Structure 1
Amino acid sequence: MKIDLIDVFPGRSLGGNPLAVVHGAEGLDEAAMLRLTRWLGFSETTFLLPPTDPQADYRVQIFFPAGELPFAGHPTLGSAYAWLAAGGVPKSAGTVVQECGIGLVDVQTEGATAPARRLAFAAPALTRSGPLDEAERAEAIRLAGVAPEAVVEAVHVANGPKWQLLRLRSAADVLAARPAPEAPLGTDIGLAAPGEAGSGIDWELRAFFANQHGSLTEDPVTGSFNAGVAVHLFGTGLVDGSYTAAQGRMVGAEGRIFVSRDESGVIWIGGDCAMISQGGALTAFA
């Protein structure tokens, strides 16, 4: 087995979300995958496997420290990048087809070349949408630590992770949020608001999830949340064409996400990937 370390969605060197990608993971069971994920300590670690669907180029299992995820965004881009960097050739030119817990996900491969390469995944359909009820809204506001008067709307944007979106008045409101230290496992809450004038950023985001210890953790850059937000923003007419989002400032990151919708209506969540370490030997562990 080999392991790559990849920076996903960086707006500067080492400014994105780190990802570990394990190649040739057939010999690992899920318990071993989870132990390695926890030991590494990244938001997610992925494990590349042969596909079971004939349309797919590879299959991936995605783990975060509390368990397995059916889909996640920065692991999708990073896994596709690692597979390509290891010599993978997609069945369809220009598109990698990833098999994961939610099914097949297309990843566009046309972009900048090494050492950084821009990829984009097709945003999956929402598995839950619509407004939060009163109790859900109040609890999301409490856990995210935002001023209630700053909330413009509160909606579900689940797409694997059970994301709840609090859309706020301004980027300043997003950056001022002070999340609670603890939250129930399964908590996925994110904030979004229009970017500051003149910043070159159209939307400012933050995202929080509960880890296996019950702590509410801020993610540096979150592809699945950006995908859920994009589906909602395009679906409600709040955006059109393309936009650039930023995430991670409050945890020392500088993430950049490039979002667009093509003529067929597919929403693409794009970002750069940079190889930090490639092909390290992963020795067997009990």
Structure 2
Amino acid sequence: MTSVALPRSVAKLCNHSGLGIGMQLSYSVVDVFTDSCFGGNPLAVVWAPEGLASHLMQKIAHEFNLAETIFLLPPRHDECHVRTRIFTPQTELPFAGHPTVGASFILGRAGRAFGRAITSDVLLEQNIGAVHAELLTECDAVVGGIVSSPEPLAIGPDVDPELIARACNLRPDQIETSRHAPCICTCGNALVFVEVTSEEALSQASPVISEFQQHLPRERAIGVHLYTPSTKEGVDYAVRMFAPMVGITEDPATGASNLSLVGLLTALAPGNTLRTSYRLEQGVQMGRPSQLRGDATKLDGVLSEFRIGGHCVPVAEGTLNIPSSFQ
């Protein structure tokens, strides 16, 4: 069998007599948007050789059964440190914030990827394009990452508040429309953004699958992102995200949708030139509290930059044994 030279024994092709194992891939599990183990949003990060089949990546993501699994592959463009592909248990995504933050954390801790040193910044080649991440460090140790939006914020059409109420098991009067009606926004993944009237309403919400299937298919938006001002000290907004049509009934911490939320709130804020920052909490109802930090800059009425980030905690490392029959 042929050996594949990748970082930290990323992949080995082997012939284990009787086991039928044809490939071994190194992986890490990291909790993203938390500084405590078993909080935040767990993520599988898999080092992969060039040419690993898409259907096999999808099977591996389904096996982990986490919100997302990200694969690290050799870059195709010299300016990037790594190429990535991101999968939910059911589908591939062009971009997602929590895998990008978690992968940047793993890459920063490794210090190298595919022969290139990594210091304070990581450039990841993703299906959406090149994505920039800044490493968060404390006492010279990498503790997390901050991801910049890969695309300008696009604010799309409004969505019927009564439809959203039905889809999220809420009453129509629990949908707040004074700041904006429910609307589809994207900076890489389209979601419906909905302000609700209270933290009580936020806690009460739950996805009604039949309504998502009929009115919110993933071709329209991959999920619904609910938010409301928080009364908790140190938190500006409490948020939840439902995406059952891509295999995520609820997500404990959603980087891409909170990135869009930071952009949306800043775009709607009064003033033509300002810099904002937001402290967001998610995952409380799931028993996986997550803390995200976002910031944005608006210049002459135009949203010029917006970012999302947070801490990460390593949880596990291991090896995936891939049978020869799956290659």
TM-score by length of 2: 0.78
Pair 1:101-2:127 in alignment: yes
Task: Answer whether contact 1:219 1:248 (CA < 8 A) is retained.
Answer: yes
Structure 2 Cα separation of the partners of residues 27 and 179 of structure 1: 37
Structure 1 residue 93, shift from structure 2 partner: 4.9
Structure 2 Cα separation of the partners of residues 126 and 155 of structure 1: 16
Report the equivalent of 1:32. Answer: 56
Code of the residue aligned with 1:266 in structure 2: it is: E
Pair 1:275-2:314 in alignment: yes
Code of the residue aligned with 2:259 in structure 1: it is: A
Listed one character per residue, the Cα deviations across residues 141-177 of structure 1 (whole Å, up to 9, x for unaligned) are 2212222112223111223322110112222221221
2:183 to 144, 148, 155: 155
2:261 to 203, 210, 229: 229
- Aligned pairs (5 A) from 1:135-146: 137-146=161-170
Code of the residue aligned with 1:180 in structure 2: it is: V
1:249 to 277, 281, 284: 284
The 10-residue stretch of structure 1 (216-225 or 104-113) with the greater mean CA deviation from structure 2: 104-113
Structure 1 residue 127, shift from structure 2 partner: 6.1
Task: Answer whether contact 2:30 2:42 (CA < 8 A) is retained.
Answer: yes
Structure 1 residue 101, shift from structure 2 partner: 1.1
Task: Answer whether contact 1:9 1:221 (CA < 8 A) is retained.
Answer: yes
Report the equivalent of 1:284. Answer: 322
Code of the residue aligned with 1:166 in structure 2: it is: V
Structure 1 Cα separation of the partners of residues 242 and 101 of structure 2: 20
Report the equivalent of 1:199. Answer: 233
- Aligned pairs (5 A) from 1:103-122: 103-112=129-138, 117-122=143-148
- Aligned pairs (5 A) from 1:29-178: 29-88=53-112, 93-112=119-138, 117-126=143-152, 128-134=154-160, 137-151=161-175, 152=177, 153-178=181-206
Task: Answer whether contact 2:295 2:308 (CA < 8 A) is retained.
Answer: yes
Task: Answer whether contact 2:86 2:92 (CA < 8 A) is retained.
Answer: yes
Structure 1 residues 262 and 250: alpha-carbon distance in aligned structure 2, compared to 1, 3 A threshold = same
Structure 1 residues 232 and 26: alpha-carbon distance in aligned structure 2, compared to 1, 3 A threshold = same
Mark the runs of 5 or more structure 1 residues left unpaired by the alignment: none
Structure 1 Cα separation of the partners of residues 31 and 279 of structure 2: 18
Structure 1 residue 133, shift from structure 2 partner: 4.1
Report the equivalent of 1:217. Answer: 249
The structure with more radius of gyration: 2
Listed one character per residue, the Cα deviations across residues 195-224 of structure 1 (whole Å, up to 9, x for unaligned) are 11x432100100010246xx7601111001
How many pairs were matched up?
280
Structure 1 residue 116, shift from structure 2 partner: 6.7
What is the identity percentage for the equivalent residue pairs of Structure 1 and Structure 2?
28
TM-score by length of 1: 0.89
Task: Answer whether contact 2:69 2:99 (CA < 8 A) is retained.
Answer: yes
Structure 2 Cα separation of the partners of residues 127 and 230 of structure 1: 10
Report the equivalent of 2:207. Answer: 179
The 10-residue stretch of structure 1 (175-184 or 157-166) with the greater mean CA deviation from structure 2: 175-184
Task: Answer whether contact 1:6 1:78 (CA < 8 A) is retained.
Answer: yes
Listed one character per residue, the Cα deviations across residues 23-66 of structure 1 (whole Å, up to 9, x for unaligned) are 13325200000011111110110110111122211110000111
Structure 1 Cα separation of the partners of residues 162 and 63 of structure 2: 35
Structure 1 residue 88, shift from structure 2 partner: 1.8
Report the equivalent of 1:258. Answer: 293
Structure 1 Cα separation of the partners of residues 89 and 248 of structure 2: 13
Report the equivalent of 2:13. Answer: none
Code of the residue aligned with 1:234 in structure 2: it is: T
Relative to its length, the structure with more strand (as a share) is 2
Code of the residue aligned with 2:252 in structure 1: it is: P
Secondary structure of 1:269's aligned partner: strand
Report the equivalent of 1:16. Answer: 40
Task: Answer whether contact 1:124 1:227 (CA < 8 A) is retained.
Answer: no
